[in-house]
């Protein structure tokens, strides 16, 4: 109706306001008598008169006839005109910025005709319904979509998909973007997540609820197909080359290929004992390793497998009864860890350091970093074990064996004491010698 009325330039503003509120029959009669309206235009008006007015909640389709700061007027075929007003005109600037006069749009009826004769419409509700229907289709079809990160919090990333705010939890980030930080510091995790603001991520919708406006996505699942293809090609025994992507107390994470990541456990870093993986490598270092396991998308790597096991040659280099010098690397309640060379480390048990551990404190007798002389008392290369002693320096192997035998003999089993009960005692004599009781 609005387009027809707009073409009737002879009508004053007051006439428009009054006539749009009276019945269609009176309005048509007035137009014929006062403004000599053409027959074709009147036929359009009669069509409008025949159409039932839309109800609140209906979705109507029309053409934008004008756009103003606080008002967007839409022509609704076979009915008349509607208007989108107030906050609706600036509530979603990103979507509305693209609209122009002549565009076909859908809107929801939120109010009956107002005093100006316009049906009140809402873009938001119609737009919201269309968007959520589209998101449901995307989830059902398992489509991968692109989304841009708007913000981050300690739990994950905040992003937008089709005008709807969504959330990407930290647990749903692939190994490529997972924030690996020392000691799991939440502040450091947040700082890492903040670096992703403005970046575009592939995402897959994994959960949504229109009523709660909940939209959860996964970047990890969006990349899983690429990862599957690479994993299919990877085999145990393969050698890889990559970059240290994260260093934690229990090992080193290594990213390699186009989208794969594996873990070198602390026990697989080197043949010698590693106390702190950070002493071996730092983030960004080039790492070469061997694949030693693939299970449920978890890849286990080993750096030491690429090196010859130094313990293979240890039995040729070191012999029982040899006197050696070594540096104390650690003092524990049960003894000393001693480094003999770059690859071999031995253990001197507390019983091989002092005669009475209860009276002598090894922390006062030995210092970390100190070099001492020891005697090798045992070596088991296949188990990576080498026993050391300081007490043995003062005695020969025969003396130790004799002392051991002597100690063994001196330990006698304790005899069991048999206590006699009253019943076990010798019974009293009866007869003349028996004492009578009065």
Topology of 2-123 in CATH? OB fold (Dihydrolipoamide Acetyltransferase, E2P) (2.40.50)
Residues present in the chain in total: 438
Q: What whole-number distance in Å separates Cα of residue 238 and Cα of residue 231?
A: 12
Instruction: Please state the pTM of the whole predicted model.
Output: 0.49
Give residue limits of the domains in the chain: 2-123, 142-224, 234-306, 311-407
- Fold (topology level) of 142-224: OB fold (Dihydrolipoamide Acetyltransferase, E2P) (2.40.50)
Domains 142-224 and 311-407 share a fold: yes
d(CA 397, CA 320): 9
Instruction: Please name the residues in contact with 125: beta carbons below 8 A apart, sequence gap of 6 or more.
Output: 108, 110
How far from the centroid of its chain's Cα atoms is residue 286's Cα?
A: 24
Bridge partners of 257, per DSSP, are none
**d(C-alpha 49, C-alpha 29), whole Å:** 13
Identify which of 379, 403, 381 has the alpha carbon closest to the alpha carbon of residue 391.
403
Cα 220 to Cα 170: distance, rounded to the nearest angstrom: 10
- HEC secondary structure over the chain: CHHHHHHCCCCCHHHHHHHCCCCHHHHHHHHHHHHCCCHHHHHHHHHHHHCCCCCCCCEEEEEEEEEECCEEEEEECCCEEEEEEHHHHCCCHHHHCCCCCCCEEEEEEEEEECCCCCEEEEHHHHHHHHHHHHHHHHHHCCCCEEEEEEEEECCEEEEEECCEEEEEEHHHCCCCCCCCCHHHCHHHHHHHHHCCCCCEEEEEEEEEECCCCEEEEEHHHHHHHHHHHHHHHCCCCCEEEEEEEEEECCEEEEEECCCEEEEEEHHHCCCCCCCCHHHCCCCCCEEEEEEEEEECCEEEEECHHHCCCCHHHHHHHCCCCCEEEEEEEEEECCEEEEECCCCCEEEEEHHHCCCCCCCCCHHHHCCCCCEEEEEEEEEEHHHCEEEEECHHHHCCHHHHHHHHHHHHHHCCCCCCCCCCCCCCCCCCCCCCCCCCCC
CATH of 311-407, one of 2.40.50.140, 3.90.1200.10, 2.60.40.10, 3.40.50.300: 2.40.50.140
CATH number of 234-306: 2.40.50.140
pLDDT tens by residue, the chain, 438 residues: 444 444 444 444 445 445 544 444 455 555 555 555 554 455 555 554 545 678 888 888 889 988 887 788 998 877 788 888 877 665 556 666 777 888 888 888 888 878 777 888 888 777 777 788 899 999 999 888 889 999 999 899 999 888 889 999 999 998 778 887 766 678 888 998 999 999 998 899 999 998 888 999 998 888 776 677 788 889 999 999 999 988 888 999 999 987 788 999 999 999 887 889 999 999 899 999 999 998 877 899 999 999 888 888 888 889 999 999 999 999 999 999 999 988 889 999 999 999 888 888 899 999 999 999 999 999 998 888 999 999 999 876 666 666 555 555 554 555 555 444 444 444 444 444 444 443
Other CB atoms within 10 A of residue 6 CB? 15
pLDDT of residue 164: 87
């Amino acid at each position: 109706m609005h387009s027809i009325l707009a073409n009737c330039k002879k009508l004053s503003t007051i006439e428009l306001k009054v006539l749009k509120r009276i019945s269609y029959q009176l309005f048509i009669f007035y137009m014929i008598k006062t403004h000599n309206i053409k027959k074709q235009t009147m036929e359009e008006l009669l069509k409008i008169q025949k159409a039932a007015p839309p109800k609140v909640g209906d979705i109507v389709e029309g053409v934008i006839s004008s756009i103003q700061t606080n008002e967007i007027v839409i022509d609704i075929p076979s009915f008349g005109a509607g208007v989108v007003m107030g906050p609706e005109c600036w509530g979603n600037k990103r979507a509305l910025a693209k609209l122009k006069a002549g565009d076909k749009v859908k809107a929801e009826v939120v109010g009956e005709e107002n005093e100006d004769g316009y049906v009140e419409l809402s873009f938001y509700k119609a737009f919201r319904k269309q968007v959520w229907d589209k998101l449901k289709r995307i989830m059902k079809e398992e489509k991968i979509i692109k989304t841009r990160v708007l913000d981050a919090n300690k739990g994950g990333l905040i992003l937008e998909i089709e005008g709807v705010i969504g959330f990407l939890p930290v647990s749903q980030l692939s190994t490529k973007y997972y924030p690996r930080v020392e000691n799991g510091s939440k502040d450091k995790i947040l700082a890492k997540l903040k670096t992703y603001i403005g970046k575009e991520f592939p995402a897959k919708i994994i959960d949504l609820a229109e009523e709660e406006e909940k939209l959860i996505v996964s970047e990890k699942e969006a990349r899983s197909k690429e990862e599957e293809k690479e994993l299919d090609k990877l085999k145990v025994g393969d050698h890889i080359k990559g970059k240290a992507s994260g260093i934690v107390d229990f090992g080193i994470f290594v990213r390699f290929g186009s989208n794969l990541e594996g873990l070198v456990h602390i026990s697989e870093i080197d043949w010698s004992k590693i106390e702190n993986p950070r002493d071996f490598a730092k983030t960004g270092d080039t790492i070469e390793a061997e694949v030693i396991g693939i299970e449920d998308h978890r890849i286990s790597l080993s750096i030491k497998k690429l090196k010859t096991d130094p313990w293979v040659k240890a039995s040729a280099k070191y012999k029982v009864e040899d006197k050696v010098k070594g540096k104390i690397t650690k003092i524990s309640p049960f003894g000393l860890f001693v480094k003999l060379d770059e690859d071999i480390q031995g253990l001197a048990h507390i019983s091989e350091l002092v005669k009475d551990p209860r009276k002598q404190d090894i922390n006062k007798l030995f210092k970390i970093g100190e070099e001492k002389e020891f005697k090798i008392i045992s070596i088991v290369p296949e188990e990576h074990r080498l026993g050391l002693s300081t007490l043995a320096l003062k005695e020969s192997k025969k003396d130790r064996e004799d002392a051991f035998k002597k100690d063994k003999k001196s330990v006698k089993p304790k005899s069991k004491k048999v206590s006699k009960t009253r019943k076990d005692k010798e019974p009293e004599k009866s007869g003349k010698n028996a004492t009578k009781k009065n």
